Every structure is written in structure tokens, then in C-alpha cells.
């Protein structure tokens, strides 16, 4: 069985194209392997990625529409719907029409169109429909017929053959062409050596192949927002390295397990997940002891950013990612974002900054993290926090408070005690 993956052309133009395509091939292979789908090859051909699946089980070819065949298709869908960069994919049948180059076009076009016709009938006779349309894309301009000519000739063949296969006396059973609202579309793609035929397109997630945009460190809490932010940056090709801060006191192990569970879901989109678990209790205690209560939230968060920045440097990552959304909570006013971001040199990506909570929750449900995120957990950020934290932190005042802390030493210790895990 053949699968053709299509990707967004615009982003892939220019010198980067080969690099993008190779990454996409690599990611498709990983996702198929992760979903236990066997394949013979995954390769680039003229603007698409072609996958040939292994569908023989114990030497026997799977029959189309059989239970095993359908379950294989489901596994493939599951895998490819999570590979960023794919705009859509199809299960196709292939024929190998010879092209007109070097041959007499009048004879070769006859041959070419004949094998397309046979395949078209073979595919459509299994389908139930009363109206149809043929849509041809001719990537190979050497092919003897234009797209329009192919559409017309195949259309006529389908009208004649399918109608005569059905009981033509029964008028309801007659087939007709409908260009605007057909029951079924037969797609034809004429590539270099092959022509592909199919009737259904499946949406991929879009975006860019994971890894083409470099690495960033994602601050992941146990909440709803941060996994969604990570997902969105993965979708733009950014490989995420995760950092989670926890208060190392009773019950924390359960909260770490919750974060691992969230990361196991994200692993479906990014095959290798590396996470730093960083204990924050000592730093929090010091902040509580030495600084004014009003500044705690901003100071905690500056420390988190500083540690994440340090990890990013170790990992050669070029940005930080957070799930912040403007105005959602006290620490996410523009004033506070400014006071927090000032602590670090790397750009902070906040893909959710303009999103409503409902929009974030909807996407969390779609990607599969929501149900885990809503389970209760210890939130280290809300510990020792005053009921009404400052929403307009003044940077000068924040820095003055921060000077009371032995930050360098505290951060060094926290990093020393942190644990790295590969999920
Ligand atoms: P979330 O739903 O992701 O927890 P939130 O709306 O609860 O977000 P905050 O708790 O203010 O908001 O956190 C804002 C962002 O800061 C989070 O999206 C995440 O990127 C980061 N963050 C918060 N807590 C932690 C933590 N314990 N470890 C790592 N990052 C965190
Ligand atoms: Mg949170």
C-alpha cells in the first residue's frame, strides 16, 4: 500500500528545501515506527514524500477492506496526523504510465490513458456514489495529455462503464458528473514515473517538520496552558527541551508523575523528550525570608527564567517557551512580563499570549493533554504567595529586592540537585 504525504510548498522553497524534506522523511519514519507500522521505504519524489507500507502478514497480502487492512490504515493515520509539516496525506493506488518523452505522443497517450482508465474503474466500482468529478494534477509536464484532457477522458470512461455496470433502467442508480458538489472525487496525480489515484484526503497537522527551527527550552507546569504552548512551538519546527520546577516537599513525587504523563502525550509529536526536574524549595524559602511579600511571584518567576536560560545555554537552545497569556493571572500582566523577562537574555516565546482560556482548553483536548492537566497537583508557584500579588511590578523595585538574595549560589545548587530524565 502506498501513502503520499503532501507538505506546504511555500515554506519549503529555496535552499532549505532539501533539509526540510529530509527532516520530514526522518520524522515520518520515526512516527511510523513509534506506531508499529512496518514500511519498505519512505522517500522524496517530486514534491511529495512517498511511503510504501509493508502489508504482508506471514507472507499473505492484506485484502483491501479486510479488518487487518483497515486497522493498518488506522495506525498509519494515527502516526501521520502527528507529523508536523504534512498538510495532507492519501492512501493511493499507483500505475506506471510511460511518458511521451522520446515517443510518438499519439500512441503513448493512448497507452497512458488506458491504464489510468482501468485503475479508475477498479477503484470506483467499489464505491457508492451517484455524482462524481475527476481532478487531475499534472506534476510531470511531459505527460502527453493536459489535466483537462485527462479529466474529460476519464470522466467519460467512468460515465460509460460504471453506468453500464449498474442497472441503467434504475434511473436513481445512474452516475453523473457534478463539478461543484460531487459525492466523490477521483484525484489523479501525474508524477515523474508514476501516476497516483485516490478518492480521500486526510488532513495532517500542518506546520514545519520538527527540528528544522532548532531547539528551545519549554517551561512546563502541570497545568493546561504550557503543554499547549509546547505543542504550538513543536508545530513550528522547534524541538522542545523541558524544565519543570517543583517544591521538594511532601507529595511532590505525584506531581512529577503528572508532568511525566503530560510529556508522554507530547512524545507522540516529538519522539525524544528530555526533561529537567529542578527543586525550588530552598530558593522559595530564601525569597520568603528576605523579600517583601508583594514581590514574591515576580521573583519566583525571574528565578525560573534564569534557571531555564542557563539550561538553554547548556543545551544550545535559542529561546524559552511559556504558556503565558496576557492578563490571565497576576503574573501575566504586561508590567509583570516585562519585569520577569528582564532577567534573561534569550527571547521568550509565548505562543498563547493572545489566546482565551477556552481556546487553550479546546486545543488541549484535541492534542490529548487536557484530561491529565485538570487532575489536582501541587503548584509550586502558588506556595507562599500573598492573596493579592502585585500586578504592576516596578522593575527598579524588583531588582532592589532581588539583590537581597544570593541568587548565583542558589541557582547553582538548584541545578546541581536537578534530575534529567528521558521520557
Ligand atoms: P499552566 O496552565 O501551564 O500551569 P498557568 O495559567 O497556570 O499556566 P502560571 O502558573 O502563571 O500560569 O504559569 C505561567 C507559565 O509559567 C506556565 O505556562 C509555564 O510555562 C510556566 N510555569 C509555571 N509553573 C511552572 C513550573 N512549576 N515549572 C515550569 N514552568 C512553570
Ligand atoms: Mg500553572
CA distances from 396 to 105, 289, 389 (A): 79, 20, 17
- The torsion angles phi and psi of 150, rounded to 5 degrees, stand at -65, -45
Tell the burial category of 398 from Cβ atoms under 10 Å away from its Cβ (0-12, 13-18, 19+). buried
Q: How far apart are the first and last CA of the chain?
A: 32
Cα of 85 to ligand 1 centre, how many Å? 28
**Per-residue pLDDT at 347 exceeds 50:** yes
Domains contained in the chain, CATH given: 2-203 (3.30.2130.30), 215-422 (3.40.50.620)
Question: Taking the model in full, what pTM does it have?
Answer: 0.91
Question: Ligand 1: which of 222, 225, 343 to mutate, most ligand atoms within 8 Å of CB?
Answer: 225
Query: If you take atom 25 of ligand 1, which residue's CA is the nearest one?
Result: 221
As a whole-number percent, the residues of the chain with pLDDT over 90 amount to: 68
Cα of 324 to ligand 2 centre, how many Å? 9
**Rounded CA separation 344/255 (Å):** 27
Cα of 384 to ligand 2 centre, how many Å? 15
Query: If you take atom 11 of ligand 1, which residue's CA is the nearest one?
Result: 331
pLDDT band, very low/low/confident/very high, at 100 (cuts 50, 70, 90): very low
pLDDT band, very low/low/confident/very high, at 103 (cuts 50, 70, 90): very low
8 Å CB contact between 223 and 247: no
**Rounded CA separation 212/230 (Å):** 15
Cα of 416 to ligand 1 centre, how many Å? 22
Check residue 97 and report its DSSP letter. Answer: P
Three-state DSSP class for 270?
coil
Cα of 223 to ligand 2 centre, how many Å? 5
User: Which residues contact residue 165 at a Cβ distance below 8 angstroms, ignoring those fewer than 6 apart?
Assistant: 125
In ligand 1, the atom with minimum distance to the C-alpha of 322 is 20
Q: What is the pLDDT of residues 4-14, one digit of tens each?
A: 999 987 666 67
| Ligand 1 site, CB within 6 A | 219-221, 223-226, 243-245, 304, 322-324, 328-329, 331, 380-381
Cell of 71: 486497522
Cell of 317: 537552545
pLDDT value at residue 98: 57
pLDDT value at residue 75: 95
**Rounded CA separation 418/415 (Å):** 5
Check residue 11 and report its DSSP letter. Answer: G
Amino acid at each position: 500500500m502506498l501513502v503520499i504525504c503532501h507538505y506546504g510548498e511555500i515554506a519549503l522553497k529555496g535552499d532549505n528545501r532539501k533539509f526540510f524534506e529530509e527532516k520530514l522523511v526522518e520524522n515520518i519514519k520515526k512516527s511510523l515506527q513509534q506506531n508499529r507500522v512496518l514500511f519498505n521505504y519512505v522517500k522524496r519524489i517530486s514534491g511529495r514524500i512517498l511511503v510504501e507500507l509493508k502489508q504482508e502478514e506471514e507472507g499473505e497480502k492484506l485484502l483491501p477492506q479486510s479488518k487487518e487492512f483497515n486497522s493498518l490504515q488506522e495506525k498509519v493515520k494515527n502516526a501521520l496526523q502527528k507529523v508536523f509539516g504534512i498538510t495532507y496525506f492519501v492512501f493511493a493506488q499507483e500505475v506506471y504510465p510511460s511518458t511521451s518523452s522520446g515517443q510518438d505522443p499519439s500512441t503513448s497517450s493512448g497507452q497512458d490513458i488506458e491504464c489510468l482508465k482501468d485503475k479508475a474503474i477498479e477503484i470506483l466500482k467499489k464505491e457508492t456514489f451517484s455524482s462524481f468529478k475527476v481532478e487531475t494534477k499534472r506534476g510531470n509536464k511531459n505527460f502527453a495529455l493536459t489535466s483537462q484532457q485527462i479529466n474529460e477522458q476519464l470522466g467519460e470512461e467512468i460515465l460509460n462503464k460504471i453506468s453500464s455496470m449498474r442497472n441503467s433502467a434504475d434511473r436513481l442508480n445512474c452516475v453523473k458528473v457534478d463539478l461543484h458538489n460531487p459525492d466523490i472525487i477521483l484525484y489523479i496525480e501525474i508524477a515523474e514515473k508514476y501516476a497516483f489515484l485516490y478518492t480521500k484526503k486526510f488532513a495532517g497537522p500542518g506546520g514545519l517538520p520538527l527540528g528544522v527551527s532548532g531547539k528551545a527550552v519549554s517551561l512546563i507546569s502541570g497545568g493546561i496552558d504550557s503543554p499547549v504552548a509546547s505543542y504550538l512551538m513543536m508545530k513550528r519546527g522547534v524541538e522542545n527541551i523541558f524544565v519543570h520546577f517543583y517544591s521538594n516537599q511532601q507529595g511532590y513525587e505525584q506531581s512529577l508523575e503528572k508532568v511525566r504523563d503530560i510529556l508522554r502525550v507530547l512524545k507522540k509529536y516529538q519522539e525524544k523528550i528530555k526533561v529537567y526536574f529542578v527543586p525550588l524549595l530552598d530558593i522559595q524559602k530564601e525569597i520568603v525570608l528576605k523579600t517583601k511579600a508583594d514581590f514574591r511571584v515576580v521573583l519566583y518567576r525571574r528565578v525560573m527564567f534564569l534557571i531555564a536560560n542557563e539550561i538553554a545555554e547548556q543545551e544550545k537552545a535559542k529561546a524559552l517557551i511559556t504558556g503565558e497569556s496576557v492578563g490571565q493571572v497576576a503574573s501575566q500582566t504586561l508590567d509583570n512580563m516585562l519585569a520577569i523577562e528582564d532577567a534573561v537574555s534569550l527571547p521568550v516565546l509565548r505562543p498563547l499570549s493572545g489566546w482565551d482560556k477556552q481556546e487553550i482548553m479546546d486545543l488541549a483536548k484535541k492534542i490529548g493533554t487536557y484530561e491529565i492537566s485538570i487532575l489536582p497537583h501541587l503548584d509550586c508557584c502558588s506556595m507562599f504567595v500573598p492573596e493579592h500579588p502585585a500586578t504592576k511590578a516596578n522593575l527598579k523595585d524588583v531588582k532592589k529586592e532581588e539583590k537581597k538574595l544570593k541568587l548565583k549560589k542558589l541557582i547553582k545548587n538548584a541545578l546541581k540537585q536537578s534530575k534529567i530524565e528521558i521520557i
